[in-house]
Amino acid sequence: MDKRLSGVTRFELNGAAVEIAPRVGERLSEALRERLGARDVKVGCNAGDCGACTVLVDGAPVCACLMPAQQAEGAQVETLAGLYSAEPLARDLAARFEAQGAAQCGICTPGMMVSAVALLREEPAPDEAQVRDALGGVLCRCTGYRKIIDAVTGAPGRAVDDAEGHSGAAIAKLDGAAKVSGRESFGDDVAPEGALHMRIVRSPHARAGFVFGDLEGYAAATGLTVLTAADVPGRNVFGVIPGFEDQPVFAEAETRFRGEAVAAVVGEAEALARFDSADFPVTWEARAAVSSVEEAMAAGAPQLHSDRAGNVMCGGFVAKGDVEAALAEADVVVEGAFETAFVEHAYIEPEAGFAEVVEGRVHVHACTQAPVMDRDALEGILGLPGEAIRIVPTATGGGFGSKLDISVQPYLALAAIKTGRPVRLTYERTESMQSTTKRHPGKMKVRIGADATGRVTAMQFDGLFNTGAYASWGPTVANRVPVHASGPYVVPNYRAEAKGIHTHNPPAGAFRGFGVPQAAVAQESLYDALADRLGLDRLEFRIRNALDNNVETVCGQVFAQGVGIKACLEALRPAWEAERAVARDVRTGVKRGVGVAAGWYGCGNTSLPNPSTIRAGITAAGRVVLHQGASDIGQGSNTVIPQIFARALGVPVSVLSLVGGDTDLTPDAGKTSASRQTFVSGNAARLCGEALRRLVLTRANAGEGAEISVTEGALVIREGGREQRLELAALEADGMGYVLRAEESYDPPTKPLDENGQGAPYAQFGYAAHLCVLEVDEALGRVRPLKFVAAHDVGHAVNPLLIEGQVEGGIAQGLGMALMEEYLPGRTENLHDYLIPTVGDVPPIETLIIEAPDAHGPYGAKGLGEHVLIPTAPAILNAIRDAVGVQMTRLPVTPARLWAAMKEARDG
């Protein structure tokens, strides 16, 4: 018999001999992370679907989550951190990842880089096809893969080597080095050794009554600590929109969606590894549930919330002119009904963190998009004042809206308080998908009319949005959709209504675009139909109707400047003309199509305050510290906010030390949402930099144009040949340790909307237009995108490299929404049934940056993050229609659905 029966497994980890005694059934990923401290091995799915945990075993890339730890006996195991420290090839690759901006959030980066190292050892100069094959097993949700491909093939680096690094420079991410070396710490990477573990007991039914058995007996028998609603000292409810707090931490009496929490257990790691919720003493009684908006609105349907009649959460409304009359008078009217699916955010980092009680206060370390909102939510739940709660954001491995809501935080805090020990919790992939928010499915009916000259005269939009069991950000969707459903066009007569409808589904909340991408699918598809009916070129029709400066939006808002949609559409003209000139028939059974679509998106909260505050200080030693609280979830606020600040202060970005969104250390920069950080926090950073500069220049009695240099212990101020040293040690430090300090806030100017949605909902909009070229395989219904050209008006490009990264990543998400993504509770709760694009699915993307400066934006900058996927799905649908003449009205356009639609069009 083999000696490994002794229970000891020996192997080499990154060149060093190691010895472990794993459990039977323990995954190599767990052993590496928890027994050997190799936290650079990331776990995204525990099913081989995401590849984040890729390590080399005897040189071959494998998913460490699928390998019994004992199987490593005698093998050489290599991880990113080891490769980075020992292998020049990996070090070079890391430099190329940074220079391309190939790591955004960084959670997939170890898997990507380890896989790439295996390829590069065999093939030092791989072509794109080889790279795709090598990386096909690693999912990335941020980048759209193109920059990763470029990094591995060795394409010329895109980052500039700019000593100042000010706003406008395409510098590499300031936090990139940690991400490409395996040093970055995400939610599951920070718990102290010996922390207790935690699991959540969740409803197996969409709607169920439940009764607990003998919880005390269970706890005594298992040694586990049990938490239920009875353990919530404050209010067992949370929510993100005032007046819509409706979601319990633990359900009471009845659950409203499959995956809703009813209890939690806390215990030692080994005990929790053996925990099976099927053994937990709870009895379920499945009850009739409603899953669609039609079911929920039917007479006699079960009501999810007693104060929301007919399961209507709330609605949003915008009206202008007389839409009925205008439609009646229009020369051409088109109409259509469109339907989109639940879309899962599918960030590769499941929600994770740990909490502990420190000197009577509870500290929660977790991935998040909104640390101060997390603290506010915990105040109510824990019944503690805000001062007693500290939120320490970890690096966040993707968010896209869902990590605006709390997930692990209340469970961790309650468990840490109850046990008095540090407690950690990481969601399994399936529970992350079951229990966190989704993109709202939309059911939309739209009519649009135009006159014979090709001017749009009227549009009517009615949308029902399936908001799931709880409000979350549903009210935001209901409000944003009517404001945006016109698209970036002049529509003199307009009526748009959107309603959020409760169903027994996971809460639909914030997801990149807040309902606007769904609305754009309907409106932009019908714009093609309208152009065709009018006999007009589809792009020129859009240009003719595009908004402009000094023209009213559907909300009656007029911008005197900064309306860049026409420039975006015109930028597509050369590609549009060239691609339209290519024959449609590619080869037998394959048709080629070209589509365009546009979008707009208001940056910041809709007609509501959303201030950001940025603080900076200079220490006696000459450290310039920027308290940057805008959560960087991969989009780059850790880079662009410092770039803006550095330009305002007049120092190189490289001298800045960053302090993140720790609520004890950094003022509130608001949530990473609504494409607001570059705009709103960027403005706060600009104001803060300017204020600090004034402080310095005043001390030096120097004029506006003086140059500031930072040296050890002093600032050197040069002006017109005059040079003076400001000795910092001579100044008195404040309570924060700064001898000079500034703190500034910015809140975008908006005006409330009246009962017809008229007003000034946003201080600025960003604009976008996409062109998609694709092929349709007629026999199989397969759509193969070949190319995107994306024009984006960003006002001022704070960092062109990061802009490209946002555009490429947004297009990949839009492509997934259009062609493959559909979350079905109980059916697609993992990353092999729920499909997101792989490296083979995203074609080359050309980004055209348009800069129509905005009067409110920092140096003219506008937000971008959400704009990028709004035109993508309709551009794809329009290209499909162009290729095969079929108008798809339901997303995702799976091969089977497109095949059926083509068949129906043929057979009549």
Partner 1 sequence: MEYLAPHDLGEALDLLARGGVTPVAGGTDFYPALPPGGARESLLDLTRIDGLRGVSRADQGWRIGAATRWSDILHADLPPAFDGLKSAARQVGSVQIQNAGTVGGNIVNASPAADGVPALLALGAEVELASRHGRRRVPLGDFITGVRAVDLAEGEMLLAVHVPAPPEGAVSAFEKLGSREYLVISIAMVAVVLRVVDGVVDHAAVAVGACSPVARRLAVLEREMVGQAPGAVSINARHLDGLAPIDDVRGSGVYRMSAVADLIERAIKGACHG
Chain residues in the site for partner 1 (CB under 8 A)? 1-2, 4-5, 7, 22-27, 46-49, 51, 54, 57, 60-63, 65-68, 70-71, 73, 115, 118, 132-134, 136-139, 273-279, 779-782, 819-820, 822, 824, 827-828, 830, 832-833, 835, 837-841, 894-896, 899-900, 903
Work out how close the CB of 774 gets to partner 1 at its nearest, in angstroms, rounded to a whole number.
14
CA distance to 384, 571, 614, 673, per residue, from 670 (Å) = 21, 34, 10, 8
- Measured from the CB atom, is 4 or 725 closer to partner 1? 4
Work out how close the CB of 274 gets to partner 1 at its nearest, in angstroms, rounded to a whole number.
5
- Measured from the CB atom, is 89 or 659 closer to partner 1? 89
Within 453-582, strands assigned E span 456-468, 493-502
In the DSSP assignment, the letter for residue 232 is -
Amino acid type, 18: V
Work out how close the CB of 11 gets to partner 1 at its nearest, in angstroms, rounded to a whole number.
13
Distance separating alpha carbons of residues 535 and 199, to the nearest angstrom = 61
Distance separating alpha carbons of residues 639 and 172, to the nearest angstrom = 8
Please, are residues 173 and 103 in contact by the beta-carbon 8 Å criterion? Answer: yes
Please, are residues 498 and 457 in contact by the beta-carbon 8 Å criterion? Answer: no
- Measured from the CB atom, is 523 or 838 closer to partner 1? 838
Q: What share of the chain is helix, strand, coil (3-state, %, to 5)?
A: 30, 25, 45
- Measured from the CB atom, is 62 or 171 closer to partner 1? 62
Work out how close the CB of 277 gets to partner 1 at its nearest, in angstroms, rounded to a whole number.
6
Work out how close the CB of 894 gets to partner 1 at its nearest, in angstroms, rounded to a whole number.
6
- Measured from the CB atom, is 53 or 319 closer to partner 1? 53
- Measured from the CB atom, is 67 or 469 closer to partner 1? 67
For 453, the 3-state DSSP assignment is: coil
Work out how close the CB of 154 gets to partner 1 at its nearest, in angstroms, rounded to a whole number.
20
- Measured from the CB atom, is 60 or 299 closer to partner 1? 60
Distance separating alpha carbons of residues 770 and 793, to the nearest angstrom = 12
Work out how close the CB of 120 gets to partner 1 at its nearest, in angstroms, rounded to a whole number.
13
Report the run of H or E that residue 609 belongs to, with start and end: none
- Measured from the CB atom, is 651 or 819 closer to partner 1? 819
- Measured from the CB atom, is 345 or 429 closer to partner 1? 429
- Measured from the CB atom, is 277 or 303 closer to partner 1? 277
DSSP per residue, 25-36? T-BHHHIIIIIS
Distance separating alpha carbons of residues 451 and 657, to the nearest angstrom = 58
Work out how close the CB of 53 gets to partner 1 at its nearest, in angstroms, rounded to a whole number.
9
Joined together, the tokens standing for residue 117 give 């190292």
Tell me whether strands 722-727 and 740-746 are parallel, antiparallel or unpaired: unpaired
Report the run of H or E that residue 465 belongs to, with start and end: strand 456-468
Report the run of H or E that residue 816 belongs to, with start and end: helix 800-819
Work out how close the CB of 815 gets to partner 1 at its nearest, in angstroms, rounded to a whole number.
10
- Measured from the CB atom, is 432 or 639 closer to partner 1? 432
Work out how close the CB of 182 gets to partner 1 at its nearest, in angstroms, rounded to a whole number.
18
Angle at 826 between CA 822 and CA 827, to 5 degrees: 45
Q: Is the dihedral of CA 324, 326, 330, 336 positive or negative?
A: negative
Joined together, the tokens standing for residue 476 give 């935001």
- Counting every residue, how long is the chain? 908
Distance separating alpha carbons of residues 345 and 400, to the nearest angstrom = 6
Report the run of H or E that residue 80 belongs to, with start and end: helix 80-86
Work out how close the CB of 475 gets to partner 1 at its nearest, in angstroms, rounded to a whole number.
31
